[in-house]
């Protein structure tokens, strides 16, 4: 469900005097300040900071996803959001993560329009969720010797999968696997730990994603 946004990522504009004032304030920051974009002056500073905010997907523990000034209702894990994620706990991990790639069902949908890497799903695609296996939290080809999740499903939940870069460089056994941004159930019921959107909302979000887009999940 899509909503207009009046939050910090909404389309608020500064007049030239406000922007120049912001730039003047930035001039007093220490030269080694970690936010290098803050050293840009005047309107350019505002444009840089605005672009950074707008390119990040924000997810709140209340089930609200905001991206590029638009808010959407989303589903989260049945156990809420956690900073201490463990395999099988049903919680969505908190933190800021990259988006790795998009997988989709070519028998049901056209290829999603996005700047992210896209690959069509195959019936033999799976994702290993066995913490004891060397392919834990990685794509596998089914049938596979260790416990794995099927990505080619009868329902629509995995018609589009955006792989979130959680616990993957490298995977730590037992810290959680298969964290995706995927299609929500019709009633927006809770997930097993993923973030889920109505399919039209998901396609809209993906359309504006780039290789720099990150998802920030907060409790």
18-37 pLDDT tens trace: 344 434 434 444 434 334 33
pLDDT at position 15 is 41
pLDDT at position 25 is 39
Distance between alpha carbon 136 and the CA centroid of its chain, in Å?
20
Contact 160, 103 (CB under 8 A): yes
* pLDDT band per the 50, 70, 90 thresholds, residue 52: low
**Residue-wise pLDDT tens digits, 68-81:** 999 999 999 999 99
How many beta carbons lie within 10 A of that of residue 211, not counting itself?
Answer: 9
Mean pLDDT value of segment 91-106? 98
Alpha carbon distance 3, 115 (integer Å): 24
The helix/strand/coil state of 82 is strand
Q: Which CATH architecture has domain 69-217?
A: Beta Barrel (2.40)
Where in the chain are the domains? 69-217
CA distances from 35 to 42, 52, 80, 155 (A): 16, 11, 31, 44
**Residue-wise pLDDT tens digits, 173-204:** 999 999 999 999 999 999 999 999 999 999 99
pLDDT at position 92 is 98
Helices (H), the chain: 16-26, 42-54, 199-207
pLDDT at position 180 is 99
Q: Is the pLDDT of residue 93 over 80?
A: yes
Give the residue with greater pLDDT, 101 vs 52. Answer: 101
Alpha carbon distance 218, 25 (integer Å): 29
Alpha carbon distance 2, 191 (integer Å): 19
The least confident of 48-57, 122-131, 163-172 is 48-57
Q: Is the pLDDT of residue 156 over 90?
A: yes
Q: Is the pLDDT of residue 63 over 50?
A: yes
């Amino acid at each position: 469900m899509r909503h207009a946004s009046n939050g910090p990522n909404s389309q608020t504009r500064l007049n030239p005097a406000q922007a120049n004032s912001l730039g003047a304030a930035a001039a007093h920051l220490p030269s080694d300040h970690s936010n290098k974009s803050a050293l840009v002056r005047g309107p350019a500073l505002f444009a840089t900071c605005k672009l950074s905010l707008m390119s990040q997907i924000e997810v709140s523990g209340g089930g609200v996803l905001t991206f590029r000034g638009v808010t959407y209702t989303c589903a989260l894990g049945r156990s809420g959001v956690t900073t201490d994620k463990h395999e099988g706990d049903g919680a969505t991990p908190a933190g800021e993560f990259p988006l790795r790639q998009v997988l989709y069902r070519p028998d049901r949908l056209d290829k999603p329009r996005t700047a992210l890497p896209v690959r069509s799903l195959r019936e033999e695609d799976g994702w290993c969720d066995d913490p004891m296996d060397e392919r834990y939290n990685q794509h596998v080809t089914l049938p596979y010797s260790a416990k794995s999740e099927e990505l080619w499903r009868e329902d629509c939940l995995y018609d589009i999968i955006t792989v979130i870069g959680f616990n993957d460089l490298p995977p730590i056994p037992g810290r959680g696997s298969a964290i995706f941004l995927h299609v929500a159930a019709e009633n927006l019921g809770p997930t097993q730990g993923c973030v889920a959107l109505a399919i039209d909302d998901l396609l809209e979000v993906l359309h504006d994603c780039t290789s720099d887009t990150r998802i920030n999940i907060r409790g």
